[in-house]
Chain A
Amino acid sequence: MQFLRCVHAEFLLVLPRIVRTHLGFALLSLGISLVWLHAHGLDALTVVLQAGALGAIVGAAGVVGHENDRPALKISLTHPTTPLAVALGRWLAIVSPAVVLALGCTAVIEATPSALMASLLAAAAVGSCALAIVLTLGKGAATTLFLLMAVAGTVAPERLVDLARPGLLRLTAASVLELGPALWHYRDIVTGDVGAVLHALAWAGLGLLLAAAFIGRRRR
């Protein structure tokens, strides 16, 4: 019960951030941009997946990206909470606005429920990964992750490897796309691909554990 209360306390931090920082505006702008892109030819599944994944990255920047956030987490740990509760609460705070954004986009562009389900899983996986990355590397890393996810994340690794003389760089990029959370993977959730679902769930869990380890690490 104590654990859940601590998770709840962390989650509640998202509400003032949406209202009082750029987070709300950034999410709204992202939603409007995606709907506009749909009106100009982007397919519905990509729009909903991007809403979930990119919304989660924007959420991570807003929820743990401020210069005060990381040192403040250390102060939180001097209170009766645990690193995992902090990480889980912040993850929920990151993913919830992305879910709302995905729901909104689904409603506006009339996407299918299976596309929405894929988007929610993508938000969970990417949000978890973004939480760990922003905690470790700072807010700047969120911008890089956003661009990677928006552009490279939609490219299947086979398209890189199948090119003539792929080279080490392309092979590395293809491996990252294969292993990391990427939207090309999560498109298959719509068709009921269990591997894609497990990939998303694995990333959600791994990112949370990495974030909790970062929050709880005690240097000598």
Chain B
Amino acid sequence: MSDYALTVSDVSGRELGPLSLALLPGEIAGVVGPAGAGKSWLLRVAAGLLRPSTGDVRVWGMSVADPAARLLIGYASDHAVVPNALTVAEVLLYYARLHRARSNGGGRTPRSLVREALELAGLTAAAELRVDTLGRADLHRLNLAQAALGGRRVLLLDEMLSGGALDAFARRDLRGRIARLAADGVAVLITSRDPATLERLAARVLVMRDGRVVRAGPLATLLGERILEVILDAPPPEPPPGFRVTASGLEASLNGRTVEAALALCRAHRLPVRASRVRVKSLEEIVLETHDTH
């Protein structure tokens, strides 16, 4: 048995990869990048739905093609696709029946698996609703319930928190549910085209572009970079070295210099400084910078 919940080793496909990553139990890793970067491809390969040209995917040391691995790994696609004409509970019961025989050792019946999944995703009140009447947030919850059903230990969530139709409350609710699963030891690999949605969830971030991981690291490290924002009374004729012009004045990265030194540089250029503040760089800025420099 491997220490890693999920290992993706040197997988490549059509013009994508090679790409490797390993996920520890309880870890939440976010994959960000623009549309077409290969995020969904990576998740489909990890779920065993696509066959990579090279490399392999292992779940707790088992090949993802092994049916036993599918008891441990759950996948939610970017659009919830479920058999039509069913209620939420019926959809989950359909999937739970596929798990029953192997789950019987734990004494769990399909209906008990459905109850667990409904509670886990916050869908108990919507259990008897037809899936074609569900709103966007409930469809995402159903997708999460389907993926996590049966106590799976690795979750692959494609754009679970993205989409303009998801309001801030639904995103916060889903984020909380995913974080609780991770706290129970479930490893989560989640993609997003909007980096901001992962900023309060992922412990590690992988930035993808053109099918390759171009930057990766713990979120705390990536977000460690500080930015000095300087608000000016009038726009500067020319920014000092290392500064960028913004709508309200200037800003500069504080890498390797102090706030005082940066402000002294502004004063030396006779800029009318009204105020200044220090903030950390957002994940979105880091992703955009990474995208532009690779």
Q: Do A and B come from one complex?
A: yes
A residues whose Cβ falls under 8 Å from a Cβ of B: 1-2, 5-6, 8-9, 12-13, 16-17, 20-21, 66, 68-69, 71-72, 74-82, 218-220
Of B81-89, B201-209, B232-240, the one contacting chain A is B81-89
Find the B residue at minimum CB distance from A86.
B98
Rounded to whole angstroms, the CA-CA distance of A74 and B81 in the bound complex is 9
Find the B residue at minimum CB distance from A85.
B98
Rounded to whole angstroms, the CA-CA distance of A82 and B98 in the bound complex is 10
Rounded to whole angstroms, the CA-CA distance of A5 and B98 in the bound complex is 7
Quote the shortest CB–CB distance from B65 to chain A (angstroms): 9
Contact residue among B86, B102, B130, B147 (Cβ-Cβ distance under 8 Å from A2):
B102
A68 neighbours in B (Cβ, 8 Å):
81-84
> Which one of B49, B73, B130, B150 has the highest number of Cβ atoms from chain A below 10 Å of its Cβ?
B49
B residues whose Cβ falls under 8 Å from a Cβ of A: 13-14, 47-53, 67-68, 70-71, 73-75, 77, 79, 81-86, 90, 94-95, 97-102, 130, 146-147, 149-150
Quote the shortest CB–CB distance from A115 to chain B (angstroms): 33
- Is there an interface contact between B81 and A75, defined as CB atoms closer than 8 Å? yes
> Which one of A17, A66, A80 has the highest number of Cβ atoms from chain B below 10 Å of its Cβ?
A80
B97 neighbours in A (Cβ, 8 Å):
5-6, 8-9, 12
Rounded to whole angstroms, the CA-CA distance of A177 and B1 in the bound complex is 55
Quote the shortest CB–CB distance from A131 to chain B (angstroms): 15
B85 neighbours in A (Cβ, 8 Å):
16-17, 20-21, 66
Quote the shortest CB–CB distance from B76 to chain A (angstroms): 8
Quote the shortest CB–CB distance from B103 to chain A (angstroms): 9
Quote the shortest CB–CB distance from B6 to chain A (angstroms): 14
- Is there an interface contact between A78 and B75, defined as CB atoms closer than 8 Å? yes
- Is there an interface contact between A78 and B49, defined as CB atoms closer than 8 Å? yes
6 contacts across the A-B interface (CB closer than 8 A): A66-B83, A66-B85, A78-B49, A80-B98, A219-B50, A219-B51
- Is there an interface contact between B94 and A9, defined as CB atoms closer than 8 Å? yes
Rounded to whole angstroms, the CA-CA distance of A69 and B49 in the bound complex is 16
- Is there an interface contact between B82 and A220, defined as CB atoms closer than 8 Å? no
Rounded to whole angstroms, the CA-CA distance of A79 and B13 in the bound complex is 24
A1 neighbours in B (Cβ, 8 Å):
101
Rounded to whole angstroms, the CA-CA distance of A4 and B84 in the bound complex is 23
Contact residue among A12, A66, A79, A218 (Cβ-Cβ distance under 8 Å from B84):
A66
Quote the shortest CB–CB distance from B224 to chain A (angstroms): 37
Rounded to whole angstroms, the CA-CA distance of A1 and B101 in the bound complex is 8
- Is there an interface contact between B82 and A80, defined as CB atoms closer than 8 Å? no
- Is there an interface contact between A69 and B84, defined as CB atoms closer than 8 Å? yes
- Is there an interface contact between A79 and B81, defined as CB atoms closer than 8 Å? no
B67 neighbours in A (Cβ, 8 Å):
80, 82
Quote the shortest CB–CB distance from B57 to chain A (angstroms): 12
Rounded to whole angstroms, the CA-CA distance of A21 and B131 in the bound complex is 13
- Is there an interface contact between B84 and A220, defined as CB atoms closer than 8 Å? no
- Is there an interface contact between A218 and B75, defined as CB atoms closer than 8 Å? no
Asked whether A75 and B82 contact (CB < 8 A) given A82-B67, A218-B50, A220-B50, the answer is yes
